[in-house]
Each structure stands twice: as structure tokens, then as C-alpha cells.
Structure 1
Amino acid sequence: MDRILRSISFIFHPIIMPILGVIFYFHKSPRFIPEEVMYAKLISIGILTIVLPILTYYLLKTLGKVDTIYLKTTNERIYPLAINCIIILIVIVRILSQAQIVELYYFFVGILISTMACLFLAIFKFKASIHMISISGLFMFFIALSIHFSINITGTLALMSIILGAVATSRLHTKAHNYMELIMGFFVGAIPQFILVNHWL
């Protein structure tokens, strides 16, 4: 059980949540989007939100700005979060157009707001759970898409609820966070997505 709970944090790592949201959108959207456009967006976003953060981590580790991939202290979080804000901003400005794919545009605006809020909290020495921020934001985005496109994804939402609970349990089991940090992470991830729904739903 210990291994299972620890593995959950790696399987549902925050770094993969943005690309999962993009894949889910392209899979469920009833709009016609050319395949070459979808693949171009996926590859670009994958490079920027997965490959680049990994390379950035190793650079920061070499420079002595972070000690481990777990970012156990608030000081270790500041540089990665600040850089991630820049990366997400690049995605919004250069890859996703509000006029072209409005849902994904505001999904990433929500991610940017959540990341900035997490950075702000880290500066003031509060370690909100990044795992909870990412999974709760994705969960809220799925709910909004189901309403927006009038699609039945009850099974997906039920699975996401289980995953949300499993991630929270995993973070508590590994003593990475306490209850307050998990609760704060949930709201930091979900509230921006909920508010921004008004712009595209």
C-alpha cells in the first residue's frame, strides 16, 4: 500500500495535467479542428509544459537553486514557479489564440493565475499543494466542458473524483503536505477555472 500511495504522486504529477486537459479537449470537442493543427498544438504545448520544465529543473539543480525534485521548501519553489509562469504565458500568447480555441485559451489563463497564486503563497512561506492545484483545476475544466458541449462524461468525472481523493491521500501519506495545504491547493486550482468559465461557457 505504501508503494501504491507513493506512486500516485508520480503518476498524476502536476507537469502532465496541462497536456491532459488539451488532449481531453481535442477528444471531446464537437468542433472541426484539422488534425495537423491538433498535432502542432499538442507537440508545442508538450515541449513547453513538460520537456522545458524538466530541463529547467536540472539547470536549477546545477545552479544550486533546488535540492530535489520534491521542492520541499517554499524557497525552492520560487524559481520553478516563476519560470513556469513565463512558460504558461508563452503558451497563451504564442500557441493558443483566444479567437481560435477560446476554451483552451482560458484553461491556460486559469493555470497561469493558479501558478501565480502558488508563487505568491510560496514567497510568503506557505506551501500550497501543487498536485492539488493541478488536479482540481483540471477537474473543474472537465466539468465546464461537459456543460459547454452538453456531453455526458459522468464516468470521467467520477474517475477524476477518485483520483482527486487518491492524490490528496498520497500527499498526506508521504507527509509532503498537511490538510490546510491540500485544501488551499484545491481552491487555488479550482477557483480560477470556475471564475473564467464566465468568459467562454
Structure 2
Amino acid sequence: MIDRVIKAISYIFHPLFMPLLGVTLYFSKTPRYIPDPIIKAKIFSITILTVVLPILLFYLLKTLKKVESVHLETTRERIIPLILNGLITFILVSRVITHNEIEELYYFFIGALCSTFACLILAILKFKASLHMVAASGFFMFAIAISIHFQININGTIALLCIMLGAIATSRLHLKAHTNSELIIGFFVGVIPQLLVLNYWL
């Protein structure tokens, strides 16, 4: 039973879902007026680009025998997916979430793009940072920034995200998918880019 719960955590909090969660959090908490049709259009576009398209590309890569599992267990498996993810994120900030339209989300994805690039460099150097921690910690930092930026109390959400980070770390260690150092590096690879871009919008 415990093993099933641990495995479920890895799937529920998969890195693919974190950008969409960040966008959903923003639209649910921002005090700015944004028409519902625009919100729905943005969420739909982001879902297609950050969830559906990567899943389709994964199955293509799996068919071509470039990857073996959704967890990308080796550094070699990670290189092509990270490059593709970087390209998708670049398209997203160029066409869907532009600087002049929704500044906060634009820099959230710029931070995510920097994290992806850092993970790619680490993968080339044969170091396997935890992508789960990278994505979740980036989302966590963005939630804190949103709270400060709009001066709103979302302490409950932030507390839940802390629990989420702990659950992800526990899950990845229990499954022996990562070492402590890989989780710690993953955390900082996710947080630091989000901290750096704060200078441009906070």
C-alpha cells in the first residue's frame, strides 16, 4: 500500500504538471481583472504545450528507443527531452505568454527555461538532478513571489507546497530514483532562476 502511494506521488506531482499548476495559481490569486475567455484560452494553450505535446513527444521518443521510461532515469535519456522542453518553453514565452501581456507568468516561464537549460548542462556533465524537485521548487518560489507581489495571504497554499516538496523528496528517495545530493541540487536549480528573475517583475 505504501509503495503504491509513494509511486502515485511521483506521478501526481510529475514535472509536466508544475507549469500548469503555476499558471492556475496565478489566475486564481491575481487581483487583476483578466476576462474569462482570455484565461481559458491561455490555460488551454499552456495545457497543450506543456502537457499534451510533451507526452506525445515522449511516446515518439520511446518508439524511436531514445527513452525507456517517463522518469528519464539516465542522463543520456534526458538530453533530447530537455532540449525539446526548452524549445517548447521558448515558443510559449514568444507566442502565448508574452512580456507585454502577463509579465509575472512570462518571467515564471523564463525562470523555468533557465532551469531547463541548467538541467541540460548537468545531464551533459552526467549529473542527474531531480526534475521533480526542479519543477516543484520553481513552482514553490513562484507562489511565494506571487504572495509578496500582490500582498495577499496564501500561507495555506505555501504550506501545502512545502508538504508537496517533502512528499516528492521522500518519494524519490524511497524509489531510489535519486540521491540526497541530486534532490538538493534539483531544489536549487528550480529556486535560483525564479529568484533571479524577481528583479524584473517583483
> Structure 1-normalised TM-score?
0.99
Partners of 1:84 and 1:4 lie apart in 2 by 28
Partners of 1:76 and 1:115 lie apart in 2 by 14
Q: Give the deviation of 1:4 after TM superposition.
A: 1.2
Partners of 1:68 and 1:135 lie apart in 2 by 20
Partners of 1:29 and 1:132 lie apart in 2 by 25
Partners of 2:80 and 2:151 lie apart in 1 by 40
2:51 maps to amino acid:
I
Alignment of 1:51-130 (within 5 A): 51-130=52-131
Q: Give the deviation of 1:177 after TM superposition.
A: 0.1
Alignment of 1:169-188 (within 5 A): 169-188=170-189
Q: Give the deviation of 1:131 after TM superposition.
A: 0.1
In the alignment, which residue of structure 2 is the partner of 1:47?
48
1:11 maps to amino acid:
I
1:147 maps to amino acid:
I
Q: Give the deviation of 1:160 after TM superposition.
A: 0.5
Q: Give the deviation of 1:69 after TM superposition.
A: 1.4
Q: Give the deviation of 1:192 after TM superposition.
A: 0.3
The share of aligned pairs that are identical, in percent, is 60
Listed one character per residue, the Cα deviations across residues 59-101 of structure 1 (whole Å, up to 9, x for unaligned) are 1111111112121110000010100000000000000111110
2:70 maps to amino acid:
I
Q: Give the deviation of 1:34 after TM superposition.
A: 0.9
2:116 maps to amino acid:
T
Select between 55-64 and 1-10 the one with higher mean Cα deviation. 1-10
Partners of 1:120 and 1:22 lie apart in 2 by 26
Where do 4+ consecutive residues of structure 1 move more than 6 Å?
none
1:61 maps to amino acid:
K
Which SS does the other structure have where 1:97 is aligned?
coil
Q: Give the deviation of 1:198 after TM superposition.
A: 1.0
Partners of 1:82 and 1:134 lie apart in 2 by 16
Which SS does the other structure have where 1:191 is aligned?
helix
Which SS does the other structure have where 1:94 is aligned?
helix
Partners of 1:133 and 1:33 lie apart in 2 by 29
Partners of 2:80 and 2:119 lie apart in 1 by 12
Q: Give the deviation of 1:17 after TM superposition.
A: 0.3
Q: Give the deviation of 1:2 after TM superposition.
A: 1.9
2:115 maps to amino acid:
S
In the alignment, which residue of structure 1 is the partner of 2:195?
194
2:159 maps to amino acid:
A
Partners of 2:167 and 2:191 lie apart in 1 by 17
Partners of 1:6 and 1:16 lie apart in 2 by 16
Gaps of 5+ in 2: none
2:137 maps to amino acid:
S
Q: Give the deviation of 1:12 after TM superposition.
A: 0.6
